[in-house]
Amino acid sequence: MTTKVTTIEQTTKQVSPLKGADYRAKWISYLFCLPAVTLMFVILLVPIFIAGILSFTDYSLGNPDIAWLGAKNYEVIFGRSSYQKMIWATVTYVLVVVPISIGLGLGAALLINSLNRFGDLYKAIYFLPVMAALLAMALVWDLALHPTVGIVNQTLRTGCGTWVEGLLAFGWLPWVDGAQSWYSTSCADEFPLWIGDRDYAMATICFIGIWQAFGFNMVLYLAGLTGVPRELYHAAAIDGVTNSWDRFRLVTWPMLGPTTVFVVTITSINSFKVFDTVEALTWGGPAKSTYVMMYAIFEKAVKENQVGFGSAITVVFLLFVLIITFTQRFLVEKRVHYS
Amino acid sequence: MIGNFSTSQTLKHAALIIGALIVILPFYAMVSYSFKSPHEIETNTGGFFGAQEPMVDEWCVKANNPSGAIASEELIKSCTTTPVVFNYKSAFSKAPLLRYLFNGVFVTVSIFLIQVLIALPCAYALAKLKFWGRDVVFMLVLFCLLIPVHAIALPLYIMLSKVGLINSYAALIIPWTISVFGIFLMRQFFMTIPDDLIDAARIDGMSEFSIVWKVMLPCAVPALMAFAIFSVVAHWNDYFWPRIAITSDRNYFTPPLGLRMFKGDSDGDVYGPMMATATIIVTPLIVAFLLAQRKFIEGITLSGMK
């Protein structure tokens, strides 16, 4: 083996065409990198610069007048109530979708991992929403949640007055008054309009987001679980860790640290980008309850041609995402690695 | 012991089945709605397939009877069809769905090919060639990985409309031509390929160009497959960028944009055709996924490597 390598190294030094190769490698490397580097500048870096500049102006397409506004756009974003609502809606969405979709993803991964059979079947099913076009599925959910025609409310309504109501009203729990429960009052009155109701719209959009995202987290956790060495469980058992909660708390969860940091980062960034469901179902309403940043950028800059203002929202969005990314880098370097 | 064992397994299955039902519900509803007549959709009857009772296609009647006179029996007869045929036929006739599907395929395939064309030589240079500034270029790649595409959508929209490219294939494709992630991925992959192989190719007198396309490309097929899945799934399903880049011209609509047009149609009962369209758009990737699950999961979670 060693001799073979040395001979090749010798030949590479001796054979003359290679000198030519080394020489040509110099300029050809630049040629190879040129298209990529050019496009990186034109498509990725220059636009950020442009957004940064425009965010201080009142620029709009087709309007030759452009005025320097200073930080006024940013003052509006953080000062006016409708844009505070925007930030609030975005942050709410992220804070709801990230923990729940990660919790469900981890739960599903742990359950599937401990199954004797059919694990792959569940894995495939839970991954389906990740593959399907979110817009298409959002429209299906829209129809399924339709107040009168939708399958969800119709099914809920058929349950009224039957054992389903008894079960879902939770009246069988000693501390719950069944008649006052959500299900019973809805039966007596009317089931929610879901996306048309300001109290439910955000929850519904979050639900669709969780429905779509948790399979992705599950797959990442399944990959993370294969990396936990079996010996650790044996070692823990010898040390007297016998119940499964302690096993999870002391072995599995710490070993999944790197996976968790990554999953949290990617889910947070993806949640900040939520757009499809809002644009197709609620248009940011009712009463701005689902007015998330991506939709605000689209509405202000593209529909209403307030490009300068939209750019300012873009910059705020970029800052949010960068903060998450740098936190991740920091955590990765700090202490989540146990290897 | 065995009894105890299967109890916990049964409970786990029960929990997972409930989850699976919720996950599948919209897929079930989508396909089921696409089979049903407007009346069945409204009343939520007909089971999964609908009763498939013959129904009159009102659009067909209107189209063949422009005067608005009372339609003849023959016309009504020729316009009578079953709900499933009506839904899928309307999906293609009410909107140019074939055109949308073609646009979708054209755009996704073009994006992938251009991404490879640009990324592969650069990745090869970064992994295997020594030149002044290589580290700078690699740092640039790492820096660009941080930039979320959603943050540059607006300035790109402005740049493209300044050069008059909004509402064109170029607008749909250009922003995605550079995939820094692809460069990064391919570079990591090329690092694992032994230098001897490249040296041998050089001794055989191959130019650097042929080395990239005839030696490195075949070596990189597994990584490229995963990247292809990653890229195609993302762009077939993408709605955000097409929604911005295509403002009015229906000729450039991608499938999700075409589907979106069904909602907000004041036409009333278009749910059947809408769900048929949704089924048509979603099915190809779902089928491909079910056929090659491992490859797809690998490809989609590629972004996990960043």
Could you tell me the pLDDT band of residue A170, with boundaries at 50, 70 and 90? confident
Could you tell me the pLDDT band of residue A178, with boundaries at 50, 70 and 90? low
Residue A51 DSSP SS3: helix
pLDDT for the residue A247: 84
Could you tell me the pLDDT band of residue B59, with boundaries at 50, 70 and 90? confident
Handedness of CA B244, B146, A70, A313 (dihedral sign): positive
In a domain, A161, yes or no: no
Handedness of CA B142, B120, B237, A298 (dihedral sign): positive
Co-location of A211 and A279 in the same domain:
yes
> Could you tell me the residue ranges of all domains in chain B?
1-35, 97-305
Q: pLDDT > 90: what percent of chain A?
A: 15
Residue B263 DSSP SS3: coil
> ∠ at Cα B254 (B249, B259), nearest 5°?
95
Contacts of B158 in chain A (CB under 8 A): 50, 54, 61, 307
Q: Residue B108: name the closest of B64, B201, B173, B156 by CA.
A: B173
In a domain, A112, yes or no: yes
Co-location of A39 and A130 in the same domain:
no
Is the predicted pLDDT of residue B105 greater than 80, yes or no?
yes
Contacts of A321 in chain B (CB under 8 A): 148, 151
In a domain, A133, yes or no: yes
In a domain, A73, yes or no: no
A-interface mutation test, from B2, B23, B160, most A Cβ less than 10 A away: B23
Is the predicted pLDDT of residue A3 greater than 60, yes or no?
no
Contacts of A227 in chain B (CB under 8 A): none
A167: contact with B, CB 8 A cutoff? no
B15: contact with A, CB 8 A cutoff? yes
Answer whether A28 sits within 8 Å of B255, measured CB to CB.
no
pLDDT for the residue A314: 92
The residue count of chain A comes to 339
Q: What domain range is A42 assigned to?
A: 17-54
Q: pLDDT tens, B228-263?
A: 888 888 899 999 999 998 888 888 888 998 888 877
Contacts of A191 in chain B (CB under 8 A): none
Co-location of A249 and A305 in the same domain:
yes
Structure tokens at A227: 């990396």
In a domain, A105, yes or no: yes
Answer whether A131 sits within 8 Å of B286, measured CB to CB.
yes
Residue B194 DSSP SS3: coil
Q: Residue A301: name the closest of B161, B234, B147, B258 by CA.
A: B161
In a domain, A177, yes or no: no
Q: Residue A202: name the closest of A277, A301, A121 by CA.
A: A277
How many domains are there within chain A?
2
For B81, list phi and psi in degrees, rounded to 5: -150, 175
pTM given for the model: 0.84
pLDDT for the residue A167: 74
pLDDT for the residue A99: 92
In a domain, A263, yes or no: yes
Q: pLDDT tens, B176-211?
A: 999 888 898 888 888 888 888 888 888 888 888 888
Co-location of A28 and A141 in the same domain:
no
In a domain, A230, yes or no: yes
Asked whether the beta carbons of A40 and B144 are under 8 A apart, the reply is yes
Residue A212 belongs to a domain with what CATH number? 1.10.3720.10
Highest CATH level, class, for B97-305: mainly alpha
User: Strand runs (DSSP E) across chain B, as ranges?
Assistant: 55-56, 80-81
Co-location of A29 and A132 in the same domain:
no
Higher pLDDT, B135 or A117: B135
B54-B57-B58-B61 Cα dihedral, nearest 10 degrees: -110
pLDDT for the residue A4: 44
Q: pLDDT tens, A288-337?
A: 888 999 999 999 888 888 888 899 999 999 998 888 888 888 877 776 55
Contacts of B136 in chain A (CB under 8 A): none
Co-location of A197 and A140 in the same domain:
yes
d(CA B282, CA A131): 8
Average pLDDT, chain A: 81
Is the predicted pLDDT of residue B160 greater than 50, yes or no?
yes
Co-location of A208 and A299 in the same domain:
yes
Q: Is A326 exposed, middle or buried (0-12, 13-18, 19+ CB in 10 A)?
A: exposed
Q: Which chain A residue's Cα is nearest to B145?
A: A44
